[in-house]
Amino acid sequence: MNLYLRYFDNETLVTNVDDAISFLADIDEIGMNPMLEADIREYAASDVYYPKRYKIRPRVYFIIIKTEAATMQDFKEKKAVHAQSADSAAEKAMSPALLRLTEELHGWYEGIIDFKRVLLVPGTGKFQYRDTHFVAQCKATSGIDCYNRIVDYLRARVDSRSQFPSAKGKNFKFRYLGQAK
């Protein structure tokens, strides 16, 4: 595992932590100390692959990135990006709730939606947004169909300025109740 380090225009690709620490020690503004050295060694030894950013002063940082690249050219061309398995990447890209959202299963669904409803404040004559919890049971072919039916129903009955959440977000939940008779 190699380390890419950059501080403004100073950058390097090193093969071990000692070279990284000596690179940083040569830059006076960074001010290498035992705590920083220990933290860099800990980061290099860990299984974490996200870039690490260290603050030097307000709005001034240096970064360290773990990479499989053998040369600076390979790193710049992103030829050796840390590869995740295709299965784990697909699992992270689509959670079980998102998979169930488009799964076609005809029957009764219960949909729960939390949305921002526009209401008139009687004393002032002004309008304000209120968090509103709405639960409905409907016949649908999938979770997304249930969402669309609920939103269509609400749009016809509440102020047009009301705001509805995405079907993929945390403010919409649904469950399959059973076959339609």
What is the full per-residue pLDDT of the chain (181 aa) written as tens digits?
Answer: 889 899 988 899 999 999 999 999 998 888 889 999 999 999 999 888 888 898 888 888 999 999 888 888 888 887 666 555 444 544 445 456 677 888 888 999 999 999 999 999 999 989 999 999 999 999 999 999 999 999 999 999 999 999 999 998 889 999 988 886 6
Question: What pLDDT is stored for residue 73 in this prediction?
Answer: 84
Question: What pLDDT is stored for residue 136 in this prediction?
Answer: 95
Local structure of residue 157 (DSSP, 8 states): T
Q: What gap in Å lies between CA 99 and CA 83, rounded to an integer?
A: 24
Question: What pLDDT is stored for residue 23 in this prediction?
Answer: 92
Question: What pLDDT is stored for residue 86 in this prediction?
Answer: 46
Residue 13 is which amino acid?
L
Question: What pLDDT is stored for residue 70 in this prediction?
Answer: 85
Q: What gap in Å lies between CA 132 and CA 92, rounded to an integer?
A: 30
Name the burial class of residue 96, with classes exposed (0-12), middle (13-18) and buried (19+) by CB atoms within 10 angstroms of its CB: exposed
Helices 34-45 & 17-25 angle (0-180, nearest 10): 150
pTM: 0.49
> What's the token pair of residue 60?
């001034």
